Structure 1
Amino acid sequence: MYNDLKGKVAIITGGASGIGRATAIRYAKEGVHVVINYHSREDEANKLIDIIKALGVDALAIQADTTNKNEMEHLMNATIQHFGAFHIMVNNAGIQSDIPSHTMSIEDFDKVINVNLRGTFIGCQLALNHFMERKFKGSIINISSVHEIIPWPHYAHYSASKGGVKLMTQSLALEYARVQIRVNNIAPGSINTPINAENFKTQEDKHDADMFVPMGYVAEPDEIANVAAFLASSESKYITGQTIVADGGLSLYPSHRNFEYDELLDEFTDKI
C-alpha cells in the first residue's frame, strides 16, 4: 500500500510478540527490512525472523534491555553495521502490573516507569541522533495506551508512564519539526495481546471485554500495525506530535471504573 516504505529499515522494540510482532510483519509486507528487539523472548523472535524473511525482506533479532542506554546503543550500532542505516523507530516495549496504589512499592512504580517512559525516551534520543547525523526525515512512532487519557485504578504507575509518553512525544515533535523528523504516538485500547491475556482467559471474560468496547470487540494487533504503517509512510508526512487513538471508541466513555474493585473499597468504607 505504501510504496515509499520499500527498502527502508525499521527498528521495533519489544518486537517479538503482540503489537510489535504484528507491526514487524506489516512492515515486511510493505518491503521494509526489520530489526526485532527482544528482551527475553528469543525463540519467538527467531521464529518471527523466519516469517519476515519468507516475505522477501531481510531481518535481524537483537536482544537489548530498552532501559539500558548501552544495550540500546548496541542495538542501533548492530542495525547500522548490517543495514547501513535505519529510517523508522517504533518504541513498542512496555509492561504493566495490577497493584493497588496504597500497597504499591516504589520498586514496582519505578520498574513500569523505567520500561515505559525511560526506555521510550532512550529509543527516541538514539533515533534522533541517527536521523540528525544522516539528515534523514525519519519517523519515530511511540506505542502508548488509551490510558494516557483514561485513568485506571490499580495502574497508577502505568497511566503515569503513558501520560508521560504522550507529552514527551509532543515535545520532541515540536523540537525537531523544522528538520522534518516526525514523532507520533499510537494509543491502543483493548488489544488481544499476551500482556492482556489474563483479561481474556475464559470465553465469558472475552465476551465481557468485547462488550466493554463501544464497537463491540477487542481488536487484534494487526489493527494497530495498520496505523504504524501509515505513520511510517509519506502518506502521513504532515502529521507530527499527534496521538492516534485506536480504541474502538473506548475513550469516549466518561468513566473507566473497575467495578470489581469498588466492592473492596465499599468494605473499607464500611469500616470507617
Structure 2
Amino acid sequence: MSIKKAIVTGGSRGIGRGIAIKLAEAGYDVAITYATAAASAEAVKETIEAMGRKCYIYQVDLSDCSKAQPFVRQAAKDLGGLDLLVNNAGLTLTGHIADMPVKKIDTLINLDFKSYLLCTQTAARYMVKRGIKGNIINITSSRGERAYPFDSIYGGVKAALNRAVQSMALDLAPYGIRINNVAPGATQVRTKEDLNIDHDPYAELASRIPLERVGTPEDIAEAILFLASEKASYITGITLRVDGGLILAGMPERMPPEGKITYDVNWGGAGRKEIEFTDED
C-alpha cells in the first residue's frame, strides 16, 4: 500500500503540531510550515521521523501570500505526492473595529483567509492534474458561527471560510476531491508555564463547557483524521464543530471563552469604548 502524503501549515506548535503527529502515527509522510518557531518545528520533525515517517519543514510566512503557491508546489514535490492539505496556519486578532490598524487587518486576512484559498487552489490543481482524489481541510473556529465583541476581523474571516468551503466543495466534487472545515472551540494550546502563572488556566473555563473540559490538539487531530479517511467518503462542504458543546444554544457568553486566557484585551462585553480620533476622522 502506498504511503499517503500530507501538508500541514502552521505545524510546529499547538493544534498544528497535534495534527502533524497524529497523521504520522496514521502512516502519513508530512510537510509542515513554521514562521518563527524553528526549534519547535525541528522537534516535530524528530518525533515524526522516530516513527519511521518522513517530515519536511519549511520556514514560510504565509501572511505574504506570494509564498503560498510556491510552498505547496515544493512540498508536494519533496513528499512525492499530495493526498491531504490541512490549512491551519493563522493568528488571532482582537480589538474594537473602530481602532483596528489597517496593517493588522491585512495581515490577518492574508494569513487566515487568502493563504487558505491559495494553498487550496494549488493543492487542488496538483491533485486534479494527477487524478488524485484527495482531501483538503481548513481549521476555522467556533467563533465563525457566534458573534462576540472585539472579534469583527477574526470571527468574520472564520465565517467567510465556513461559507467558502461550501462553494469549493461544489467546485472540487466532480474530481473526487473533498474539502471540509474543522472548527475548534476552546483548545488547550498554552500551559501555565507559558503564561507564567501557578494555576491551571483552563480550570474555570472547563466548568463552563457542557462536556466539562477544554479541547486538546489531539481532539482536533482525530477530527482531521476522520474527515480524511474513507469513513468520511460521503462528507464534503461541512464545518465540523469540535468544541464540547461550547456554543450550543443555552450557553450565553459575552466574550470568546478563551479570551481571559489568551488575549490582552478588556473583554467587558458589548458597550461604548473610548475611541481615539485623528484629524482625518
TM-score, with structure 1 as normaliser: 0.89
What does residue range 117-266 of structure 1 map to in structure 2 within 5 Å?
117-194=113-190, 203=199, 205-254=201-250, 255-258=252-255, 261-262=267-268, 265=271
**What amino acid maps onto 1:265 in structure 2?**
G
Q: Percent identity?
A: 30
Higher helix share: 1
Find the aligned partners of 1:157 and 1:244 in 2 and give their Cα distance.
Answer: 21
Offset from partner CA, 1:146-186 (integer Å, 9 cap, x none): 01111121121100110011111111001111111100000
What does residue range 104-119 of structure 1 map to in structure 2 within 5 Å?
104-119=100-115
Question: 3-state SS of the aligned residue for 1:251?
Answer: coil
- 1:55 equivalent among 51, 54, 77: 51
Say whether the 8 Å CA contact 2:9–2:87 is kept in structure 1. Answer: yes
What does residue range 60-139 of structure 1 map to in structure 2 within 5 Å?
60-139=56-135
Q: How far apart are residue 102 of structure 1 and its match?
A: 2.4
Find the aligned partners of 1:142 and 1:173 in 2 and give their Cα distance.
Answer: 12
Find the aligned partners of 2:198 and 2:174 in 1 and give their Cα distance.
Answer: 50
**What amino acid maps onto 2:16 in structure 1?**
G
The farther-off stretch of 101-110 and 116-125 is: 101-110
Change (3 A) 1:231 1:83: same
Find the aligned partners of 1:174 and 1:180 in 2 and give their Cα distance.
Answer: 10
Q: How far apart are residue 75 of structure 1 and its match?
A: 2.0
Change (3 A) 1:112 1:194: farther
Say whether the 8 Å CA contact 2:192–2:198 is kept in structure 1. Answer: no
The number of equivalent residue pairs is 264
Find the aligned partners of 2:113 and 2:192 in 1 and give their Cα distance.
Answer: 19
Q: How far apart are residue 83 of structure 1 and its match?
A: 2.5
**What amino acid maps onto 1:99 in structure 2?**
G
Offset from partner CA, 1:71-90 (integer Å, 9 cap, x none): 22332232233222111000
Question: 3-state SS of the aligned residue for 1:37?
Answer: strand
The farther-off stretch of 245-254 and 75-84 is: 75-84
Q: How far apart are residue 41 of structure 1 and its match?
A: 1.2
Offset from partner CA, 1:18-60 (integer Å, 9 cap, x none): 1110011111111100001111111110111000000111110
TM-score, with structure 2 as normaliser: 0.86
Find the aligned partners of 1:263 and 1:96 in 2 and give their Cα distance.
Answer: 18
Find the aligned partners of 1:222 and 1:197 in 2 and give their Cα distance.
Answer: 20
Task: Specify every segment of 5 or more residues in structure 2 that has no aligned partner in the other structure, as ranges.
Answer: 257-265, 275-281
Find the aligned partners of 2:154 and 2:169 in 1 and give their Cα distance.
Answer: 23
